[in-house]
Amino acid sequence: MADATRCAIPLAEIAEGQMLVRSINGREVVICRTQHGIYALDNVCTHAYARLNEGRLRGTRLICPLHGASFDVRDGRPLGAPATRPLTTHDLRIVAGRIEVALRPDAAEPQSG
Amino acid sequence: MSVDYKAEWPMSLHAPADSLEAKQPPIDNGLDVPDPARYSSADFMRKEWQQLWPRVWLLAAVTPDIPEAGDYTVFEIGHEEFLVVRQEDGSVRSFYNVCPHRGNRIALNDSGSVARFTCAFHGWQFACDGHLEKITDEATFDRKLVAHRPGLSEVRCDTIGGLVFINIDGKAPPLCEWIGLPPGYIENYEIDKMHVVRHVRSEWLANWKTGVDAFYETYHLPHIHPQTQGVMEDYSQYDLYPNGFSRMIVPIGVKSHRVSDQDSVDPYQQYMMREAGMDPTAFHGTSREVRGAIQQAKRARGKRLGLDYYDKLTDAQLTDSWATGYFPNVQIGMHPEGVFIMRFLPHATDPERFYYDNMTMFRYVEDPGYAVPGWMGLPPGVDVTGTTRPNIEKIPAGVAPNLGEVLDQDVELVAAVQRGSKSRGFRGPLWSDQEQRVRHFHRELDRYINSEK
């Protein structure tokens, strides 16, 4: 996991219903632990670019703090207005008690803004 | 095994007078035949917006949809929208969904959870209790213009038994007085412990009252829904309550009295027995004895699963639908496993359209033998655990709402009644005693329209 496009986090650092943010290769990724599993997505709302980890996680619904847009953390699809575009999801696996996140190859370039 | 009811007319389950199940004394609502223009006239619709909707308590939300501080849902009726917001102290308050700055909608979605509301137009911010937190670039406003610290406009809001109501003009009697039902009637079902597992809002080509009328009687069952004959009695016990409220107790688990064979058990009855955890092949009674047997099975299962609220429900409540009319535009099919809420929401401009808004609520019980009732008509794969609140399925007019066979039949029926109600050949509805709830509803509506209330 020395790759700049990956990170590893001890599983114990994130409780169910909680979120964590990591910057991977300049890209902010929010890791959401839910009853249904753990997921990694871009941390920037596709509507007005607010940081989603400052919002709320309800079940598998991630709710933006600014205008209340919501996304399904399992696949990034928008669940509620005003967002219409999905969030990019990233690959995630659990290895020996650690959450490993890898940026999707097409998202590996640093964000331009 | 005793047969605990008999289909007769007038129908009564003969519950003791002090029971919530008791047949209510009759109310004389006269025999007037109303002008059917009320179902299509723009003038009548305008009067409803002036005289009715602002002055009544409207069912705006259910409390399980807003469990935590900052959780909100949006209630939409006509051109108005209201935020229903859970507060830090656990109370529920409601505000117009409109920014006092330029009138933009504050919430642009049906529900959510926020620490504060932020208008998407210029970023003004409001606390969840409605007060103004921040005006963007406030120094560029003349101080006099914003000296009143414009917050979100509040509307009166109150709750009962998991149901959230709002009163737009703020002048209605207190909710507990306005609700025409006796104490405990709503609360005993513990709706606050259920969850919305499906929410469908379909647009129908009819006036909202044409919709209410259709759902306020079971007289039409043998004709529009003949498939119900094997498991449902269409002679309901009709009860009228104050303030336009009403109920019909629809006996379920029995064959209609119109079916001549009352001995052999119908496949639908067998299905209901299985739902109650019974083995229908081990049942040796007649069709007439099924309802009582299901009640006993549910009673025993409730005890085993620790469902203490069953102690507050009569045996009949364990099988039957208590279809309860909340004046003016709500009916809730009340069952111990869950409730089926229907709101008849007027269209903003067209008197010949309404939204049939259904919330199916289920009390999740973690037990492999505890099935979701078939009457809920849930599509396969629906999450019933309550962990994720489903989005509203919005179905435009002309598209089948996929609410199950019975309700899809009603879509066709109601549109045809709407078209016929405008005919020069139609002189107005002739309501029988089986349609007494419809008359009761319209009589109360007239009191508002005619300023008697």
- Residues in chain A within 8 Å Cβ distance of B388: 58-61
pTM: 0.94
Instruction: Identify the residue among B86, B114, B197, B391 best suited for mutation to test binding to A, counting A beta carbons within 10 A and taking the highest.
Output: B114
In a domain, A84, yes or no: yes
B window 46-105, beta carbon within 8 A of A: 70-71
* CB-closest option in A58, A60, A67 to B113: A58
Residue type, B270: Q
Mean pLDDT for back-to-back runs of 10 residues, chain B (453 residues)? 71 94 96 97 98 98 97 97 98 98 97 96 98 98 98 98 98 96 97 97 97 96 89 95 98 95 95 95 96 97 96 96 98 97 98 98 93 88 90 93 84 94 96 97 98 93
Could you give phi then psi for residue B354, rounded to 5 degrees?
Answer: -150, 170
Instruction: Give the pLDDT confidence score for residue A2 in this predicted structure.
Output: 56
| B39 neighbors B423 (Cβ within 8 angstroms) | no
Chain A residues whose C-beta is within 8 A of a chain B C-beta are: 35-36, 48, 55-56, 58-61, 63, 65-70, 79-82
The 3-state DSSP class for residue B355 equals strand
Total domain count, chain A: 1
- CATH H-level superfamily of B57-171: Rieske [2Fe-2S] iron-sulphur domain (2.102.10.10)
Which residues does residue B156 pair with via DSSP β-bridges, in sequence order?
B167
Instruction: Give the pLDDT confidence score for residue A112 in this predicted structure.
Output: 44
In a domain, A52, yes or no: yes
- Across A1-113, the runs of DSSP E, i.e. the strands, are 6-10, 19-24, 27-34, 37-42, 56-58, 61-63, 70-72, 78-80, 89-95, 98-102
Q: How far, in Å, CA of B444 to CA of B244, rounded?
A: 5
| A54 neighbors A44 (Cβ within 8 angstroms) | no
The predicted-structure confidence for A1-19, as pLDDT tens digits, reads as follows: 557 778 889 999 999 999 9
The answer to ipTM > 0.85 is no
Q: Is residue B134 less than 8 Å (CB to CB) from chain A?
A: no
In a domain, A24, yes or no: yes
Q: CATH code at A13?
A: 2.102.10.10
B21-53+190-453: which CATH topology?
Answer: Naphthalene 1,2-dioxygenase Alpha Subunit; Chain A, domain 1 (3.90.380)
Domain holding A79, by residue range, is 6-104
| B60 neighbors B157 (Cβ within 8 angstroms) | yes
- Residues in chain B within 8 Å Cβ distance of A63: 112-114
The share of chain A scoring above pLDDT 90, in percent, equals 80
In a domain, A46, yes or no: yes
Q: How far, in Å, CA of B50 to CA of B43, rounded?
A: 11
Q: Is residue B113 less than 8 Å (CB to CB) from chain A?
A: yes
CB contact under 8 A, A80 and B111: yes
Instruction: Give the pLDDT confidence score for residue B1 in this predicted structure.
Output: 44
In a domain, A111, yes or no: no
Q: How far, in Å, CA of B11 to CA of B22, rounded?
A: 11
Per-residue pLDDT of chain A (113 residues; tens, 9 = 90+): 557 778 889 999 999 999 999 999 999 999 999 999 999 999 999 999 999 999 999 989 999 999 999 999 999 999 999 999 999 999 999 999 999 999 987 775 555 44
Q: Is residue B114 less than 8 Å (CB to CB) from chain A?
A: yes
Q: Is residue B22 less than 8 Å (CB to CB) from chain A?
A: no
Please name the residue of chain A whose CA is at the shortest distance from the CA of residue B112: A68
Q: How far, in Å, CA of B350 to CA of B334, rounded?
A: 31
| B135 neighbors B121 (Cβ within 8 angstroms) | no
How close is the nearest chain A Cα to the Cα of B335, in Å?
27
Q: Is residue B366 less than 8 Å (CB to CB) from chain A?
A: no
Domain boundaries, chain B: 21-53+190-453, 57-171
Q: How far, in Å, CA of B129 to CA of B87, rounded?
A: 7
* CB-closest option in A48, A59, A68 to B387: A59
In a domain, A68, yes or no: yes
